[in-house]
Amino acid sequence: MEIFAFIALLIGAMGLYGLASFMAVRKTKEIGIRKVLGSSVMQILWIFGKEFGGLVLVAFVIAAPVSWLLMKQWLSNFEYKIDMGLWIFALNLVLVALVVIVTVGFRTGKAAMMNPVGALRTE
């Protein structure tokens, strides 16, 4: 079970990296213009972080109540009952946020540190 969970996490991170790469390529000119106008790497990372952070929050708002209801129903069938704490969902949100920060931050950081002249010269 742990191996398959790790594989699922790895596939999700690779998909997230692909999406971040696609967005970085699509916004190459915008990143170049922002760098020329004096934007720092952290400001460019914040632009991408807001987009992906919003997506993660929307996914969490949809998935958390559904998973809580399903887990509560499944756990009620056992002889010894336990309660689902909110800390489990908070921990999951923090772990997902860390995966997103590392994955998107790596790709966006590479795009933000590139020379803006190369990005603007192609157009």
| CA proximity to 101, closest of 39, 18, 45, 19 | 45
At 7 the pLDDT is 95
The answer on pLDDT for 123 being more than 70 is no
At 11 the pLDDT is 93
At 4 the pLDDT is 95
The predicted model scores a pTM of 0.76
Mean pLDDT over 46-58 rounds to 89
At 31 the pLDDT is 86
Domain ranges across the chain: 2-121
Which is more confident, 55 or 120? 55
The answer on pLDDT for 38 being more than 70 is yes
At 115 the pLDDT is 83
- The answer to whether 56 and 96 are in contact (CB under 8 A) is yes
